[in-house]
Structure formats: C-alpha cells, structure tokens
Amino acid sequence: MLQVVPAHMSSEAQLKVWQAWPGAHSFCCDGRVMVGPDIKVTYFAASLTTAAIVAFWVLVCPSSPWFVSVGSATLYLLTMTFMALTATTDPGIVPRNTAIDDATAAANAQQNRFVDVNGVRIPLKWCRTCKIFRPPRAAHCSECNVCVERFDHHCPWMGQCIGRRNYRFFLGFVISVCLLSVFVAAFSALMALRVARQAYAGKKPPFVDILSKAISLQPGAVVMVVFPLLILLCVGPLSCYHCTLVCQNKTTSEEIKLPYGNANPFSKGCARNCQEACCSRSSRVIQPRSLASEDMGTAAMLSDEGEPNDHSAVASLRSSTFETGTCSSSPPVSGGSHMAAAVIPVDDTDALGSRRHEAPNVALCGQCKNDDDLPV
Ligand SMILES: [Zn+2]
Ligand SMILES: [Zn+2]
C-alpha cells in the first residue's frame, strides 16, 4: 500500500530517507519500491492494456492457432514487465545538499561553472531547489521535484522521470508495445477476413465486400484491429524517435534544445551508444531505506551496507556521465580556472554486460573543499 509521509515528519529522529523524502514520489514496502507522482496514470495504462489483451484472447484466440495465444501472452508479459520496471526504478535521482547554508547557496547561485567533456565546454547549472551544481545532462523535474541524471523527459504514462537508470526499460516498453500492437492487429485482421471469406463459400467477391462482411460478422475482431493500430500510430513514431536518439547518444531534451550546438560530446559511435543505452547499469545513489539522520544528502550517500561513502565516491557519482572532465569556475579566486584531475567513469559495462568498477580518480582542487564544490 502506498504511503506518503508528511513533510513535518522529516524533523523526527531515526526516520529513513524515504520517510523524509522531499520529492513528490510515493513509497511502499518500507521504501523498497518507489513510484512517481503520476502512478495512477500508469495503473490506467496497465488496465487498458490488460483489458485489450483479454478481449483479444476472448474474441480472436479461440479461432486462431495455439501460437497466437502464446505469442500474445509473451508480448503482454514483456510489456507489463518493462512498464513496471520503468515506473518503479529510480531514474537516477541526484541527492539534495541539505547541509549547505543559505549564504553559500546564494554565492554558488551567482557562480558560473563549467566542465570540459571531450573538448566541449558544458555549463553546470545551479539548482536552487536541490542546492547542487547539476551534473552534465541532469535536469530538475518540476513534477517529481528532484534532479535526475541524464534526464530525458518526465513521462506521465509511466508516472515517472525517464533518466539514466530507467531509460533502457522505457525503450524496451515502447518497443514491446509496438510489437504487441502489430501482433494483435495482424492476427485479428487475419481471423476476421478468414471468417468473412468462409461466409462466401468459395466465391471470390471484391475485397470491399469481404471487408464489410468481416465487420458485420466479427465486429469484435475489427475493434481489435483498429484499437492497436491507433496505439501504434502514437507509440510507433515515439519508438523510432528514441531509437535514433539511442544511436546518437542524445536525450530528448538535448535533441530539442541543442545545448552543445552541432557537437555531441557524449557520442561514442553508434554501436557503443546502443550498447551503453541498452546494457549499461549505474548504481543507485539514493538509498531510501537508510537513515535520514540530519542530512538527506549524507544519508543518501550511505552504501547498501550502511557504510558512509568517502568524498571521492560522491565525486564519482557526479562524474559518471562523462569520461574526461576538468572543472572550472568563474570568476576564479586565484586567477585562471582551477583544475581537477581527469575524471573517469566508475560504472561502465563491458560487452558481456558485467559491471566494472574502477577506482574514482578525482582529485579535488583548492576550491573544491566540500561536496558542494565538487566538479560535478
Ligand atoms: Zn534539483
Ligand atoms: Zn519527473
């Protein structure tokens, strides 16, 4: 059962992160499952899909070969699985900095910071709500009220942001919906036409007559042709669009706003981009079941075992979206930009899908004294 905890409870001691959650998400199973603010729309989408597939099984499958039932059940389960994974997976929420004081936050808001990613200078935007410099490609979602790594968009149908950690599930969902729609529409049409031809008992009437006969004899099957085609009309172009984005390693936001002009510092070639989008896994930063303690951000940085991560681990989180980077701030305090050591990815996936951890190699410069000053 979903439970939303009032904000005033955050002041109580011994609360877990999910109980003092500042975003718009809801949690269940003691913080094990997190869903977005629009979860009711996801329930509606799941119910609609289930109703359609049950209608198909009742109206079409009894008159069709056995593999039609098996194929449609497989695609339906695939669709529901991807839907559930997209809706319940942390999209890559960046923890808030609750330890920062107002004066420092105000000073940071006035600063211009940049990071060089593969030769392209990318500005780091200050989030006034989360009080952090957002990592490259991150954005603050006004629906969920959190910053999300590699933010693609907020999907109302999934009730959730689509970001670094659940994008591959979203991609699987839209593709499986397309396959399910094509499958259902095709076999419904075949069944309706077969029944109509049988009604003419060996004659060869014009196709229009067969069509009108199919509508009169099998109206349910005809509905099972039209409805999936309407779904396909909406989701089909979306799937193609996201497939092209995957090949280019772009987010929807980047494709629309073109923040780097014609350059794309994150592209590694079509094959690597596809592999990264479909196979790469990144660790979760927010740990909803950890103790919130005094600092949501600090609590969120606790590892699964409850051990606090060190400073470099925090840096590695925020640097995991780019391969090499240097941080710079403007105006510089001591003249010229200050530099951090080369930043390397800590979460990467090789061709076999196994996760590789590399030691974070971030050295903090003189100006990066605390979390807030990290070269994100
Ligand atoms: Zn934010
Ligand atoms: Zn969102």
Question: Is 327:375 a contact under the CB 8 Å cutoff?
Answer: yes
Give the environment of ion ligand 1: residues with CB less than 5 A.
Answer: 127, 129-130, 140, 147
Please tell me the predicted confidence (pLDDT) of residue 119: 84
Nearest ligand by distance to the CA of 144: 2
Strand partners, 120: 117
Nearest ligand by distance to the CA of 127: 1
Is pLDDT larger for residue 289 or for residue 137? 137
Please tell me the predicted confidence (pLDDT) of residue 312: 35
Dihedral sign (CA 148, 154, 158, 160): positive
Is pLDDT larger for residue 359 or for residue 43? 43
Is pLDDT larger for residue 226 or for residue 281? 226
**Ligand 2 center to 159 CA (angstroms):** 7
Of the segments 148-157, 212-221, 352-361, which one has the largest average pLDDT value?
A: 148-157
**Ligand 2 center to 14 CA (angstroms):** 28
Please tell me the predicted confidence (pLDDT) of residue 328: 52
**Ligand 2 center to 113 CA (angstroms):** 25
Q: Peptide bond preceding 331: is omega within 30 degrees of 0, i.e. cis?
A: yes
Task: Look at residues 151, 150, 179, 167 and name the one whose alpha carbon lies nearest to residue 242.
Answer: 167
CA distances from 304 to 23, 225, 291 (A): 21, 48, 11
Which residues, 6 or more positions from 371, have their beta carbon under 8 angstroms from its beta carbon? 97, 99, 297, 311, 314
Nearest ligand by distance to the CA of 22: 1
Rounding to the nearest 10 degrees, give the CA dihedral for residues 139, 141, 144, 145: 80
Please tell me the predicted confidence (pLDDT) of residue 342: 28
pLDDT at 273 over 90: yes
Task: Look at residues 147, 133, 162, 163 and name the one whose alpha carbon lies nearest to residue 94.
Answer: 147
Is pLDDT larger for residue 51 or for residue 264? 51
Dihedral sign (CA 82, 87, 89, 93): positive
Q: What is the mean pLDDT of residues 222-250?
A: 95
282: pLDDT confidence band, cut at 50, 70 and 90? confident
Please tell me the predicted confidence (pLDDT) of residue 12: 53
Task: Look at residues 13, 21, 12 and name the one whose alpha carbon lies nearest to residue 98.
Answer: 21
pTM, two decimal places = 0.76
**pLDDT for 322-375, tens place per residue?**
333 444 544 333 333 332 322 323 333 332 233 333 323 222 233 333 333 333
Active site residues: 155
Distance in angstroms (rounded) separating the CA atoms of residues 342 and 359: 12
